[in-house]
Structure 1
Amino acid sequence: MRAWLSWLVLFCVLGTPALGVTVQKVPRPPRGTWTVDLTPSHVLTQATKAEVNRIANELNDRGLGQLAVVVVGTTSGQPSRMFALDLFNRWGIGHAGRNDGVLLFVALSDRKAEIILGDGVNGPEDQRASDAVMADDVVPGFKRNDPNAAVLQGALGLKALLENARLNNPNAAAASTDAPISMGAVADTDPQPATTEPYVSRPEEPSSSSGLGFVVGGAGVLGAAGLAGRAWFRRRPRKCGRCGNLRVRLDERADNAHLDAGQRFEESLGSVDYDVWWCDPCEDALVERYGALFTSFSRCSRCNYVTVKQTSRTLVSATYDHGGEVEVTRTCGHCDHVTTSRHSTPRRTRPSSSSSSRSSSRSSGSSFGGGRSSGGGSSGSW
């Protein structure tokens, strides 16, 4: 036990220096550039950054939207989705009024990727295109340990998304045969909170302080200890209740034979992981479920699997004078159950003159135009 505790303390101490990456510490790219690489080894090559900047400048010059790419080492325990959305709205990616920004965010050490869509390019077709870019371009590249290919292919896919968005093709939108939205849409029976709060400019946080560093470091130690404890609990030996022999934990390929279709689909999405402990003498399988600590998927009210993808679409944009309305659609990838609900959003809050001036000074050196996002897009892991 003493050896185990010593190892745990060493693990926590070594993990603590990785803390400290916050949204406030991610520098805005200079005007005319659209990429930021904060990884310790600077994984993006100059050629990749130059090509992404070329793609983004072309989109911006044509008035089709704004594309940004940010790669960090880790979000230091903050959910990558929240980190990316906060960064998007803090920078104001996209053109004001059009909200046509797109952010490809990667936390390399966390093995997480996020696509954040501006509210103007967050329709059902845009969502499907975003999911395809994440599943077909971004995640496979990182699985091959080729981050430059993943980022470049992702940027090209998002360029196509903006070019084909309804916002940029009004004639195609008018000719669309999409079914009209029913005001009597069935409310979601298992609602999840939608990230529809409008972005409000906030004053800059103090750059650093010893007290804050101590609190963050302490939280990191506790978090690391919790993760280590969870890993030990999950891997601890199991005995068969019938014969008393130790069970054997099956590998990922072998355990699929003991999972149903829904469980296998959950594993493919990364929303749930299953361990199967096999007793050979009794030919008995013990299946244990472990939900992901952070996932963009939620539980389906019909089939009960964590296979629901939520998308939102702005119906009425909130202003300083009145609130807005968003339509939230939750689609289960396992049983194809779809629920739709509408939610009111509060009116926007006028920033104070001091925070407004600070926000203006922060954005003056970048190319971003004041776009916003309610959280639409895609998540991926590898």
Structure 2
Amino acid sequence: MKEVPRLAVNAWSVDTTRTLTPQTLAEVDQLGNALVRDGQGQLAVVVVDTTGRQPPRAFALELFNRWGLGTAGRDDGALLFIALDDRAAEIILGDGVDGPNEQARSDAIMANDVVPAFKRGSPDDAVLEGARGLHQLIVTSELNQPRNAQEAALAWDPRLEESAWSEDSAVTIVSEGPSEPEGDLNVPALAGGAGFVGAVGVAGRALLRRRPRRCQKCRNPRARLDEDADDAHLMPGQVREEQLGSVDYDVWWCEPCQDAVVERYGTLFTRHVRCKKCRYVTANKTSRTIRSATYASGGEIEVTVRCTNCHHTATSRHATPKLTRSTSSSSFSGSSSSSGGRSSGGGSSGRW
């Protein structure tokens, strides 16, 4: 069984084949250190020539758990494993970041980024795109961004969203449920929150959004306006959310009543956060290191949130945990790691 060298201090990449460029390895290390610095998880990339007689996925999973990638109790690690001669790629996700949404993103990273790059003969691109995607997966995971799960629930059940009224036009922002659907579709049963999102997925969401509506006043069918026409019935902050792709709105128009109902659908994955002043999901969050964490003590970061809608800016400081490193063996011999994260096998496989 081929041994894999131990990860060096502050390094999160191992290439036993010497295929990847120093620039690629350096960026992977930067991505991994950024996650550790912010206390969000651990990311590693390992490239070997072959796993021999052992299947690549079993090899990668055992390596993940031997190293204990991730934080103990959070299981927030991710491994991109490449066996070049086997033409195999594996993504292993820690148990804390392998929910339905993270699994779907892992599949997309493998199918859209990693495998196509290897097929066109670009291993550096494959590793970089894979590592960047996994970095974003961890950062935006439900574990690190509970807001994502909350907004997913709002996307499925507009009744959970705060109500609003535009005095300039007859536009209602749905707060107590959308117009009655035709047929026997049980909306409350469907709109069950984030757990339902993971179970039903994108197809169910599309069904819920596209179902016919009737006006509760005149009982005539409503018409769903297209993206250009619906802007006239949205507030400026809502238009900005659509421009950023953080939220999508559907406007259902009743011609006889000259009345519009606006329904809100938050994007499941977005880099933008809700502004505490204007309450729209139009703010960008950035962080900088005030004091780097070490293996002896924690660090401190400064987080700045700037809203692109109302231009409100807020700054706060947060402590980060000290760096940790698994004390497990650098090869597959010996016992499992007693510290660090664990994976039950979530992730994705790719071949080229």
> How does the TM-score come out when normalised to structure 2?
0.48
> How does the TM-score come out when normalised to structure 1?
0.45
